[in-house]
Amino acid sequence: MKQLKDFKDNIHSCSKCGLCQSVCPIYKITGNDCTVSRGHFVMLRGLLKGELKMSPKLNRYLDLCLKCGACSKFCPSDINVVDIIVAAKAEYFKHSFSQKLLSFFQKNFVFGLCVNFLSLFRKKAESKTFDKKVLYFGGCSSKIKGNNAVVKILNAAGIEVITPPFSCCGISLFARGDLRGFNHNIEKFVKILKQYNITDIVTTCASCEKSLKDYSRWAESDDSREFLKNIKIKNIYEYIRANELKLVLRKPVEVTFHKPCNIDNYDDIKWFLSNTTNLNYIEMNDFDKCCGLNGISKFREYRIMAEIFKSKRENILKTGVKYVLTSCLGCEVALKLFSRNSYRVDDLINFIASRI
């Protein structure tokens, strides 16, 4: 399993230029260097040298990171900040009973029992048959909402959708530093995937997409790492644009869109939003700024998270639209939580599929 010491060179490659400070949503509020990549790396260097010890205080600084990856996009040293924060959190996780308890609860109750119970009320849609076939990784979202929308839209693009019984991608375990739990999810994924002779996987949730793309770097087993290197993971918007799928909504409607941090192909989404007839897309200010979901569970940091939620909400309200669409189950939850019934939130694919 990867450990913090494996990232020593990356941590040392930080030049302390401070560019990460200009984009980090947390630093913008706290102004405290301990809450942004540059400061995190100073602390982690101390930890690796044995000058500092992992402590609840250090973990609290690491925990404030939303894992939005905004700093990595600007970092001249090209450091994958999220991987390092997770490896550091894994050091804390190993010795923390409360973190293990929370992880157990998330794994077995929230993403296990609750999601599986909700899936009992969803009937799986059957796909039409086409030469081009993809496997749909719907994660928890498809268990709760079903796979109808994805089947309807990809079938319209001439693509057959196969929906294997994949389980949760494990992103919450990864973010907490529960790497053993995360690896358990990776192995389950590999085992199911080996039953199909298809290498194209389609996702609709940005968090699932990020997790699946991380699998080949974080899998413990050499076999799984090799196997995963040949798997192509794309989100549905790449297929929609590549097939020039232009849909017509029954009635005109105005919408805005929140871009999840883990989506890299906003161009494809914008193409889809702009080429769907009767859909009037109004881009909100800072449409690509983190919704703050990773902060929801940080009740101690409520003041900081409230600031992030407030500015996202204000930007949504400025557009004057009734519908905010997104493409991540986590973002949906965060946007709904602070909507105060001023707007409705939906997944873009579900929204479009229910109106054509």
Contact between 19 and ligand SF4 by CB under 6 A: the answer reads: yes
Q: Which residues of 161-190 are buried (b: 16+ CB within 10 A; e: fewer)?
A: bebeebbbbbbbbbbbbbbebbbbbbeebb
Q: Where are the alpha helices (DSSP H) in 163-282?
A: 171-176, 179-193, 206-218, 222-229, 236-242, 266-274
Contact between 320 and ligand SF4 by CB under 6 A: the answer reads: no
CB contact at 8 A, 309 and 292: yes
| Residue carrying the six token digits 């630093």 | 27
Q: Identify which range of 15-23, 196-204, 208-216, 336-344 contacts ligand SF4 by CB under 6 A.
A: 15-23
The C-alpha angle 69, 206, 236, rounded to 5 degrees, equals 135
Minimum gap (Å) between residue 339 Cβ and ligand SF4: 23
Contact between 17 and ligand SF4 by CB under 6 A: the answer reads: yes
HSE at residue 301, side-chain half, CA atoms within 13 A, is 24
Gap between the Cα atoms of 25 and 265, Å rounded: 21
Give the pair of three-digit tokens for residue 122: 């969803």
Residue window 69-108: x/- pattern of binding to ligand SF4, with contact defined by CB under 6 A: xxx--xxxx-x-xx--------------------------
Give the pair of three-digit tokens for residue 265: 């192909």
Minimum gap (Å) between residue 287 Cβ and ligand SF4: 17
Taking the least distance from each CB to ligand SF4, the nearer of 74 and 130 is 74
Contact between 56 and ligand SF4 by CB under 6 A: the answer reads: no
Contact between 4 and ligand SF4 by CB under 6 A: the answer reads: no
Contact between 143 and ligand SF4 by CB under 6 A: the answer reads: no
Contact between 175 and ligand SF4 by CB under 6 A: the answer reads: no
The packing angle between helices 329-337 and 206-218, to 10°, is: 140
Contact between 171 and ligand SF4 by CB under 6 A: the answer reads: no
Q: Amino acid identity, residue 231?
A: I
Give the pair of three-digit tokens for residue 305: 């998270």
Helix (H) or strand (E) holding 27: helix 25-30
Which of 7, 10, 11, 24 forms a contact with ligand SF4 (CB under 6 A)? 24
Q: Identify which range of 9-17, 191-199, 216-224, 333-341 contacts ligand SF4 by CB under 6 A.
A: 9-17
Contact between 44 and ligand SF4 by CB under 6 A: the answer reads: no
φ, ψ for residue 326, nearest 5 deg? -155, -175
Which of 12, 16, 132, 246 forms a contact with ligand SF4 (CB under 6 A)? 16
Minimum gap (Å) between residue 15 Cβ and ligand SF4: 5
How many residues bind to ligand SF4 according to rule CB under 6 A? 28
Contact between 22 and ligand SF4 by CB under 6 A: the answer reads: no
Which of 6, 12, 15, 158 forms a contact with ligand SF4 (CB under 6 A)? 15
Minimum gap (Å) between residue 212 Cβ and ligand SF4: 19
Taking the least distance from each CB to ligand SF4, the nearer of 69 and 177 is 69
The residues that touch ligand SF4, with contacts defined as CB under 6 A, are 14-20, 23-26, 36-38, 65-71, 74-77, 79, 81-82
